[in-house]
Each structure stands twice: as structure tokens, then as C-alpha cells.
Amino acid sequence: MKTRQQIVAGNWKMNKNYGEGRELAMEIVERLKPSNTQVVLCAPYIHLQLVKNIIKDVASLYLGAQNCHQEDKGAYTGEISVDMLKSVGVSYVILGHSERREYFGESDELLAKKTDKVLAAGLLPIFCCGESLDIRDAGTHVAHVQAQIKAGLFHLSPEEFQKVVIAYEPIWAIGTGRTASPEQAQDMHAAIRALLTDQYGAEIADATTILYGGSVNGGNAAVLFSQPDVDGGLVGGASLKAEEFITIVEATK
Ligand code: PEP
């Protein structure tokens, strides 16, 4: 049994219409057994209120958003603020997913601002980092991931940083069916924790939840989550099937 908070977050991305989202959330509620693992459903914006109503009586279930805007309010057509997210019961916000960094040009500087907004609202960021295959092949993956974390998070005070969840997601493993090996995941998670120890000290580093993401499924979750520095997962494709998602949740220790 690990002492750090274990978390499994499902990132539904741009999948499921309203009725399908309702069915998925209801089936997760039906199948979920009580445990100390926090389970976060990161549904599309328009599903958030619905999913909140479905999960509200289940202590271990939390509502998550997949993104937010960095300003408080105003003329930003099509955007959603942290206050809006908070007002429908969101607890966690995914920030810096590689798809946001790549397709929407989100920079480290922007992500630092979004992190500040999320924390100022009393919400909890799930801060994503991870390297491309080219970077992994060049052998500079640890330096790359550490640089993303420094740029996005190291302006935070220790009190602020304690609220952050980190998700290591190698880009070559996202949605590809090619999972990092348990050793590759553990090595990177240990390198991240060492960096956090240098910046914030061992007590905070040891208490920080670091998730692995990248083709986690019902078959590989247990061995990934059994690694000493892996504290659960950020799950894309396999979070869209309730039965498999629950198998992944139950793989946390
Ligand atoms: C993700 O999008 O965060 C992710 C890890 O996706 P998948 O599980 O489908 O690789």
C-alpha cells in the first residue's frame, strides 16, 4: 500500500455526446467500489454539470476539466474560465496535455499562467509533461521533461506546489498502443521526484502524486502502477469504456 495519494484520471478528450457521456458516468458509478484512490472524470466542458450530478454522492469520484483559459473573464469567445469550472463543481484541471501544446500552441509561459489561475481558484492542476520520440531517441528526454516542469511550475511557492499533480506522458505512447515499459516509466518518475526534491525538499517531493499516461489499459495498469514512483494514471482511450476503466482504477495499490 502506497502512502502517497493514488489517482486515476480519465481524459475523455473530444469523445462522447451528451447521452453517451451520461451512460459512461452512470456505469462508472455503478461499477466503482469504495477505495482510497481518487478517480477523476475529465469530461468535455458541456458534460461537466451532468457528470457532477451523476457522481456527486460518491466520495472517491471527482470532476475534472481538460483545459481552462488563463484570464478571469471577458472577450475571449469560446473560452471557459476557472471560475466557471469551479461553479459547476470541478476539482481538477488538466494543463499542458501534449495535444494542447502541439495543436493549440500552448507554451510553457502560458501554462505557468494557467497553473496560477487554477491554484488561485482553489482548484488542483494535473500538469502534463512528456517527450516526443525524437527527443527520447536523442537521449535528452529527462532534461526535456525536467525543463517543462521548471518552466511551468517552479515559480510556485512550496504551499502552492503541494496542490499540484504531475502527469508524465511520453508523446510516443499517447493513443498509440505503445506503452512505456515499467522501467522507463519508473526511471522518469524517479528523475522528476529528484528534481522536486532539489527544488522543494524531500517532504514535498515524496508527497507529490506523479501519474503515468500513455496507452494505459486494463492489461498493463497493474505492473505500471506497482512501480515505486508511479502513483496512478492519466488514461485516454481506455477511460471511455467503464469496465476497463474500473479495472485500471482497481490496479492502484
Ligand atoms: C492521454 O490522452 O492523456 C492519454 C494518455 O491517452 P491514451 O491513454 O489513449 O494513450
Q: Which residues pair with 133 in a beta bridge?
A: none
Task: Label residue 1 by pLDDT band (50, 70, 90).
Answer: confident
Are 42 and 24 in contact by the 8 Å Cβ rule? The answer is: no
- For ligand 1, whether the C-beta of 248 sits within 6 Å is no
Identify the band that residue 120 occupies on the pLDDT scale cut at 50, 70 and 90: very high
Q: What is the structure's pLDDT at 57?
A: 87
Q: Would you call 189 a catalytic residue per the annotation?
A: no
DSSP 8-state secondary structure symbol assigned to residue 46: G
Q: Which three cell numbers stand for residue 166?
A: 504531475
Q: Is the CB of 158 under 6 A from ligand 1?
A: no
Residue from 143, 133, 141 nearest 176 by CA: 133
Question: What would the mean pLDDT of 235-249 be, rounded to a whole number?
Answer: 98
Task: Kindly name the residue from 47, 97, 141, 189 that is annotated as catalytic.
Answer: 97
Give the CATH H-level superfamily of domain 7-250: Aldolase class I (3.20.20.70)
137 residue type, one letter: D
Mutate to test the pocket of ligand 1, among 11, 94, 247 (most ligand atoms within 8 A of CB): 11
Quick check: 193 pLDDT over 80?
yes
pLDDT of residue 184: 97
For residue 165, what are the β-bridge partners? 126
Residue 114: how many other CB atoms lie within 10 Å: 23
Q: Which of 31, 112, 21 is nearest to 63 (CA)?
A: 21
Q: What is the mean pLDDT of the chain?
A: 97
Residue pair 42/12 in contact by the 8 Å Cβ criterion: yes
Q: Say which DSSP state 177 is in.
A: S
Q: With cut-offs at 50, 70 and 90, classify the pLDDT of residue 202.
A: very high
pLDDT band at 11 (very low <50, low <70, confident <90, very high): very high
169 lines ligand 1 (CB under 6 A): yes
Residue range 221-233: mean pLDDT, rounded? 98
Q: Is 169 designated active site?
A: yes
Per-residue pLDDT at 69 exceeds 90? yes
How high is the pLDDT of residue 2? 86
Band the pLDDT of 81: cuts 50, 70, 90.
very high
- Is 35 labelled a binding residue? no
Here the ipTM equals: 0.97
Q: What is the pLDDT of residue 253?
A: 78
Q: Three-class SS of residue 54? A: helix
pLDDT at site 177: 86
pLDDT of 125 over the 80 cut: yes
The predicted-structure confidence for 29-39, as pLDDT tens digits, reads as follows 999 999 999 99
